[in-house]
A and B are shown apart, each in its own frame.
Chain A
Amino acid sequence: KNEVEQSPQNLTAQEGEFITINCSYSVGISALHWLQQHPGGGIVSLFMLSSGKKKHGRLIATINIQEKHSSLHITASHPRDSAVYICAVTYSGGGADGLTFGKGTHLIIQP
Chain B
Amino acid sequence: EAQVTQNPRYLITVTGKKLTVTCSQNMNHEYMSWYRQDPGLGLRQIYYSMNVEVTDKGDVPEGYKVSRKEKRNFPLILESPSPNQTSLYFCASSFSGREGYEQYFGPGTRLTVT
Give residues in A with beta carbon < 8 Å to B. 1, 30-31, 33, 35, 41-45, 48-50, 86, 88, 90, 95-97, 99, 101-104
Contacts and interface: CB of A to CB of B under 8 A. Distances in A.
A95 B50 contact: yes
A97 B45 contact: yes
A65 B58 CA distance: 26
B100 A103 contact: no
Interface of B is mostly: strand
A99 B42 contact: no
Given A42-B107, A42-B108, A48-B97, A99 B45 contact: yes
27 contacts: A1-B59, A31-B100, A33-B103, A35-B105, A41-B107, A42-B108, A43-B90, A43-B92, A44-B105, A45-B102, A45-B103, A45-B105, A48-B99, A48-B103, A86-B43, A88-B43, A90-B101, A95-B31, A95-B50, A95-B96, A95-B101, A97-B33, A97-B56, A97-B58, A99-B101, A102-B42, A104-B42
Given A50-B100, A90-B100, A96 B94 contact: yes
Contacts of A30: 100
Nearest to A29: B100
Contacts of A88: 43, 103
Interface of B: 30-31, 33, 40-45, 48, 50, 56, 58-59, 90, 92, 94, 96-97, 99-108
A48 B102 contact: yes
A43 B103 CA distance: 10
B73 to A, nearest CB: 17
Nearest to B40: A103
A97 B48 contact: yes
Contacts of B31: 95-96
